[in-house]
Structure 1
């Protein structure tokens, strides 16, 4: 799998962190400045960097009704042929989240996330849903751009799981698989976030 599309994103992240470091060193954010990174009423668009390395398109939007509260929803989708066996790599995923921001710049956050989706890869498919608690920090780049980093710990329930095979372009279910429950990390965030208003 080629990972060349990731290179511009990686370079952009490096530039962003370098810019943020230079601004801090130049004292552009004095200690007494309590202005949040993105203020009340702001709307942002976002995309997660990690899924793009697996060719999973994703986007999200966040609205801040107050300086300390964020309402966001992320979504992802991919669908492509996985090879000569006529199997597919398909995934859709939706995750709404409520965040509470804290700190002088409102850069640290904690929140609750819900997760729902469906997967189909290499002859296995199923559904999942769950949720968890998110913790993270946002890194200031400029007045309209930041990098969001975080992790979500929680629970996933995997159901409607089955194995299938393709014979002459016809798909046959081989077996149903047991439902599974998982506790642990259910999400990792490295996202580019753009303010649009």
Structure 2
């Protein structure tokens, strides 16, 4: 009995002597950073990473001297198992480890040689950082620092959420502006002349108003240059063919469209044709030829239709015969030639842009 009491006393005494030593031994502290499966980007505010990072930075700061003197290395283990092969998993695990180390190097001011790194193609999608630090009792200052770290982590999380909300609102505003612009494109406007067509058909409404059919074609070589050709033809007789109004004309034109909106233009026109007028006792039949400078304005009605207001100034030469009709027979009464300087062309032309209505 006495032997048993002595043995128990010896064990208790040894335990009491070893307890302070055990309290000074070191224990591993592990910090885990989560990664999105199959991704290698380190998202600090995601899945609690910000709080883990704040705790780790606090621990590094408390042990900075030992870490920088290589007495307390940071043990980094990278893991990945969400890819198809071991090679891909190891490569991604390595990138993840480097991302975490770069964050610590930037924020804590430590160096690459302060890390011991290993990478694994098993277990999950995360990176762990371990430090073997002395175990000590928590103090009031430690609790305050922990609370401050939590506050900072929460502030970072709220800031990240605010940035994400701002990006979402900016994207919605961009889509709304695009929709508004598309709506404006569908309404009559002179803000823009589109270049989504190359050819257009033309009809001079002033000519049609005088019972002179007129049609033309324009080729837009580029937004600034176009080539247009208009032609007119008519033949009318009345009073038992004693009165006559007949002519044909063709007028090619080169145009230069000016400004950002391409609605104003200057051009050069050539005109040629024949005529036969008998609106009184004496008729006139002959040829005309000339040319000049044109100017105009394009008013957009919709994506497919424009109105073209134009005026031409220049020179025309008319070489014709005069005649009378006696008993149904035309009798020649001489020749004349006349030169004309002034307006040589005017038009309010309806323009149909071929293909523009199908461009959007």
The TM tier, using the shorter chain, reads 0.7 to 0.9
Do structure 1's residue 169 and structure 2's residue 328 form an aligned pair?
yes
What does residue 127 of structure 1 align with? Answer: 287
Q: Using structure 2 for the length normalisation, give the TM-score.
A: 0.44
What does residue 8 of structure 2 align with? Answer: none
* Native 8 Å contact 1:41 1:63 kept in 2: no
Could you say which structure has the larger radius of gyration?
A: 2
1:187 to 325, 340, 345: 345
Q: Using structure 1 for the length normalisation, give the TM-score.
A: 0.78
> Superposition pairs for residues 39-188 of structure 1, below 5 Å?
39=195, 42-122=198-278, 123-159=283-319, 161-177=320-336, 179-188=337-346
Instruction: Provide the rounded CA distance (Å) in 2 between the counterparts of 1:40 and 1:168.
Output: 59
Instruction: Provide the rounded CA distance (Å) in 2 between the counterparts of 1:196 and 1:99.
Output: 18
Unaligned residue ranges in structure 1 (runs of 5+): 1-26
* Native 8 Å contact 2:197 2:353 kept in 1: no
* Offset at residue 58 of structure 1 (A): 0.6
Instruction: Provide the rounded CA distance (Å) in 1 between the counterparts of 2:264 and 2:345.
Output: 17
Let me know the Cα RMSD of the aligned residues: 1.9
Report how many residues are paired. Answer: 165
More strand by share: 1
More helix by share: 2
